[in-house]
Amino acid sequence: MEQQLWNSVLAVREKSPLVHSITNYVVMNNTANALLAVGASPVMAHAYSEVHDMVAIAGALIINIGTLDEYWVESMKLAISQANTLGKPWLLDPVGAGATPYRNKVLQELLEYQPTVIRGNASEIMALASMSAGTKGVDSTNHTDEALDAAIQLNQAHGSVVCVSGATDLIVQEKGCLTLTNGDKLMTRVTGMGCTASALIGAFCATTTTHYFEATVAAMALMGIAGEIAAEKSPGPGSLQLHFLDTLYQINKDEFVQRVKLEEYNGGF
Positions in the binding site for a copy of itself (CB under 8 A): 18, 24-30, 32-33, 36-37, 41-50, 53-54, 57-58, 66-71, 96, 99-103, 136-139, 188-192, 234-239, 241-250
| Measured distance CA(32)–CA(187) in Å, rounded | 18
d(CA 103, CA 110): 11
Query: 159 or 236, CB closer to a copy of itself?
Result: 236
Closer CB to a copy of itself, residue 96 or residue 115?
A: 96
Min separation Cβ 241 and a copy of itself, Å: 7
Nearer to a copy of itself, 27 or 154 (CB): 27
Amino acid in position 180:
L
**Min. distance of Cβ 175 from a copy of itself in angstroms?**
34
Q: Is 194 annotated as contributing to ligand binding? A: no
Shortest approach of a copy of itself to residue 56 CB, angstroms?
9
Cβ nearer to a copy of itself, comparing 139 with 174: 139
C-alpha closest to that of 59 among 28, 35, 25, 93 = 35
Smallest distance from a copy of itself to CB 21, Å? 9
The answer to whether the beta carbons of residues 191 and 181 sit under 8 Å apart is no
Task: Please give the Cα distance from 154 to 103 (Å, whole number).
Answer: 17
Q: Compute the least distance from the CB of residue 67 to a copy of itself, in Å.
A: 5
Of 76 and 171, nearer to a copy of itself (C-beta) is 76
Q: Smallest distance, Å, CB 80 to a copy of itself?
A: 17
Angle between helices 122-130 and 148-158 (to 10 degrees): 50
44 annotated as a binding-site residue: yes
Distances (CA, A) of 36 to 93, 183, 199, 220: 20, 21, 11, 17
Residue closer to a copy of itself, measured from CB, 43 or 157 = 43
Beta strand pairing call for 117-121 and 41-44:
unpaired
Sheet of strand 176-180: strand arrangement? 41-44, 18-22, 60-64, 90-93, 117-121, 161-165, 169-173, 176-180, 262-264
Residues 6 or more apart from 39 whose CB is under 8 A from it?
Answer: 12, 13, 14, 16
Residues 71, 47 contacting (CB under 8 angstroms):
no
Sequence ranges of the binding site for substrate: 44, 192
Sequence ranges of the binding site for ATP: 119, 165
Sequence ranges of the binding site: 44, 119, 165, 192
